[in-house]
Amino acid sequence: MKQIIQLSDHFTYQKLLRFTLPSVVMMIFSSIYGVVDGFFISNYAGKTPFAAACLIYPYMMVFSTCGFMIGTGGTALISKTMGEGDCEKANRLFSMLVYLSIAGGIVLSVIAIVLLRPVAILLGARGAIIDDCVVYGTIILPALFSFILQNEFQSFCVAAEKPQLGLWLTVAAGLTNILLDALFVAVFRWGLAGAAIATALSQLVGGLVPLVYFLRPNKSLLRLCKPSFDGRALLKVCTNGSSELMSTMSTSLLSMLHNFQLLRFAGEDGVAAYGIIMYVDFIFIAVFLGYAIGSAPIIGYHFGAGNHPELKSLFRQSNLLLVWVSIGLTGIAIVAADMLAGLFAGYDAGLFEMTKYAFIIHSLSFLFCGFNIFGSSLFTALNNGLVSAAISFFRTLVCQTAAVLILPEFFGVNGIWSAIVVAELFSLLLTLICFAKLKGRYHYA
């Protein structure tokens, strides 16, 4: 029987991989069930409902971003607090964040539903696509509070030294979505509405099951207790997690901008092709996100404990792992482009060729994005939300927005497909500068 790994341990490569692997698998599986969702919509509901889902989904994701912010920012503060030896305070902080998220999620879902139709029209939806957007969003958004919790617990489970719990919860939510997609969309032929129902129910599983676990006595480091409001801690959490908020919100806003530009340069097929790329992209990016989620509590703990040698070891090991993983994922993506495009668009030759070509270009971004994701996560774990947010802000809103607006004017639709590659490359330069400038303050190199 393998010994339980604790945050306070010294991490070798093997131990680091063992501890972060559940988070990586968790994120990959979470991405896969999103891909399955897109597969059923595209192949059984049709190209127009698929385009509608791709068009409105980024808008809904904007409202879920607080889950990523509180999950990552809260985990950084909770881990640091535990590293300082105050577990009682860590549990009070944990409880405050969870209960605030439930209340805030309910309010946000109401706002999102009210604005659904006007936003769909603003994003360029016309005719049947507008109605499909409204149907899809109206069904999913009531479960928003649970989806916010699901995103938070993915990080909190790692801080509680229960990364396997986060994995199994994601598997349960994913299997719920996959099985119900097959039943509602492929068998009952409920179309886009069936896919939305399956997604909403899976989000309820992913958010409510861990809520019950932490409400009851458990063997983890965290448990929900009577909270006490701490405004200063909440502000610190929001500051720490601002980079993840910025990154997730910017990704959603950029998806809307991409769709708007693609409607101009490539029409409905362009939006559908981009939607397919984003579904597949999630699987590859999930490896980097999972590693960031899994390693951040370790970094935060040893930062709180003042263990500089361990920070140096973690930083060195992480960057070496990222080099090999980035090269490997890029190669896999290029080789698998034909198969992945065919999975979603095999029924339409024009859409298939466009998707395959665009994804090969997009795959080059995997060479750079892992370092940018880790860089932002590193400074979040070190409780420096300002630098973390600066990396995310520059990577997304500055670089990608500029690229997707400027490049198409010179290179047409190819400029849209290559915008992410250019943005990640320029962002890597900023990440490396931050690594070099701040190593003396945090002693990680």
Question: Residue 195 has what pLDDT?
Answer: 93
Half-sphere exposure of 141 (CA within 13 A, CB side): 24
Per-residue pLDDT for 244 more than 80? no
Per-residue pLDDT for 19 more than 70? yes
> Percent of the chain having pLDDT more than 70?
98
Per-residue pLDDT for 1 more than 70? no
Rounded to an integer, the average pLDDT of 131-151 is: 94
Confidence at 368, pLDDT banded by 50, 70, 90: very high
Confidence at 68, pLDDT banded by 50, 70, 90: confident
Per-residue pLDDT for 214 more than 90? yes
CB under 8 Å to 200, separation ≥6 — which residues?
139, 140, 142, 143
SS (H, E, C) 246-279: HHHHHHHHHHHHHHHHHHHHCHHHHHHHHHHHHH
Confidence at 301, pLDDT banded by 50, 70, 90: confident
Q: Between residues 99 and 258, which one has the greater pLDDT? A: 99
List, for residues 416-427, the tens digit of each pLDDT value: 999 999 999 999
Rounded to an integer, the average pLDDT of 333-340 is: 92
Question: Residue 3 has what pLDDT?
Answer: 63
List, for residues 172-205, the tens digit of each pLDDT value: 998 899 999 999 999 999 999 999 999 999 999 9
Question: Residue 42 has what pLDDT?
Answer: 81
384 to 76, 144, 224, 238, 435: CA distances (angstroms): 10, 28, 26, 11, 13
The lowest-confidence range among 47-61, 100-114, 317-331 is 47-61
Which DSSP string corresponds to 279-313? HHHHHHHHHHHHHHHHHHHHHHHHHHHT-HHHHHH
